[in-house]
Amino acid sequence: PEAGEIEPIEGGETIAEVYAGLEQLKDQQVALRARVMKVSMGSMGKNWITMEDGTGVAPNNRLIATSSEVVAVGDLVTVKGVVHTNVDLGSGYNYKVLLEDATFSR
């Protein structure tokens, strides 16, 4: 999405704000609106959803959420989840930030 294309939700965050406030948001629940860019189903028992909202600068312009819910590439979603930082899953899978146990609404 282009900058300004996706309107943030009232009382929510943008992806850029999540990255900027990692220390304050760590282990807190956040909500945001974004477009689903990629979905990986069933890895390590979860669905991995990559989202963008037109904010932030690469590589900090994408947020990955884990969820048991199913969404499709291209969906515009409101997502709520808990911010976890510096997640090391081993085998080279390291994440500066993950939005875990996410729930989605369209």
Q: pLDDT by residue (tens digit) across 61-76? A: 999 999 999 999 999 9
Model confidence over 9-55: pLDDT tens digits? Answer: 999 999 999 999 999 999 999 999 999 999 999 888 899 999 999 99
For 90, half-sphere exposure in the C-beta direction (CA atoms, 13 angstrom radius) is 1
Give the predicted TM-score (pTM) of the model. 0.92
How far apart CA 64 and CA 36 sit, in angstroms, is: 10
Whether pLDDT at 6 is above 90: yes
Look at residue 69 in the predicted model and tell me its pLDDT. Answer: 96
Whole-number Å distance between alpha carbons of 49 and 64: 5
Q: According to DSSP H, which parts of 1-106 are helical?
A: 15-20, 22-25
The pLDDT score that the predictor gives to residue 106 is: 87
The 10s digit of each residue's pLDDT in 44-101 is 889 999 999 999 999 999 999 999 999 999 999 999 999 999 998 888 888 999 999 9
